Amino acid sequence: MTYGNRLRATSIAAALVLMVAFGLAFFSAKIEADQGFSQKIFYVHVPMAIVALCGFVFGGIMAIQHLRTGLAKYDLKSYVAIHLSVVLGVGVLLTGAIWAKAAWGTWFEWREPTLVSFLIVFLLYCTYQPLRFSIEDPEKQSRYASVFAVTAGAFVPLNFLAVRLADPYIHPRVLNQAGGDLPDSFRLPFYLGILGMALLFSALYQYELSHKNSRAQLRQLRRKLGGEEEAVGRSAAPQVSSS
Taking CA atoms, 243 is separated from 154, 229, 236, in Å, by: 68, 21, 11
In a domain, 69, yes or no: yes
In a domain, 172, yes or no: yes
pLDDT value of position 231: 44
Sign of CA pseudo-dihedral 2, 17, 174, 39: positive
Taking CA atoms, 233 is separated from 26, 88, 223, in Å, by: 67, 49, 15
Beta bridge partners of 32: 36
What does the alpha-carbon distance between residue 231 and residue 202 come to, in Å, rounded to a whole number? 43
- Short-list 104, 158, 152, 97, CA closest to 126: 152
- Whether the Cβ atoms of residue 99 and residue 38 lie closer than 8 Å to each other: yes
Chain-centroid distance of CA 241 in Å reads 57
pLDDT value of position 33: 56
Helices 184-242 and 4-27 pack at an angle, to 10 degrees, of 150
pLDDT value of position 136: 84
pLDDT tens over the chain, length 243 residues: 455 568 888 889 999 999 998 888 887 777 665 666 667 788 888 899 999 999 999 999 999 999 999 888 899 999 999 999 999 999 999 998 888 787 778 888 787 777 888 888 899 999 998 888 888 888 888 899 999 999 988 888 877 777 666 555 455 555 554 445 566 667 888 899 999 999 999 999 998 888 887 877 787 788 778 755 444 444 333 333 333
Q: Per the structure, how many domains does the chain have?
A: 1
pLDDT value of position 106: 82
In a domain, 25, yes or no: yes
In a domain, 237, yes or no: no
In a domain, 110, yes or no: yes
In a domain, 48, yes or no: yes
In a domain, 242, yes or no: no
pLDDT value of position 23: 87
pLDDT value of position 238: 35
In a domain, 92, yes or no: yes
Q: For residue 198, what are the domain limits?
A: 4-230
